[in-house]
Amino acid sequence: MTLEDIGIGLALLATGNLPPELFPPTQLRSVLKEIRASLAMGWALTPALQNGDLWRAYQEARVVVAATTNGLLLFIHMPIF
């Protein structure tokens, strides 16, 4: 990861978007799998997310960032229905 990648990622975080530069597709895929497995009966991710459309996941996710003494915490909100 380059300094430019970090800058782009931080700019995306500042606008509430999930940056692939800081949260790579392999990590996102794993998180979506965990979310899918833990949703209560009757709840689901959007159809695009269920089908593994990761770029759609980056578009639909909304992020809130909190600074800690050890770095940043990302609170990622994914649409469910």
- The full set of domain ranges for the chain reads 3-77
44-60 confidence digits (pLDDT tens): 999 988 888 999 999 99
Question: Can you list the residues of the chain whose pLDDT is less than 50?
Answer: none
- Note the pLDDT of residue 52: 84
Q: Measuring CA to CA, which residue among 14, 13, 4 is closest to residue 58?
A: 13
> pTM for this structure?
0.80
Strands 71-77 and 62-68: antiparallel
- Note the pLDDT of residue 76: 93
- Note the pLDDT of residue 18: 94
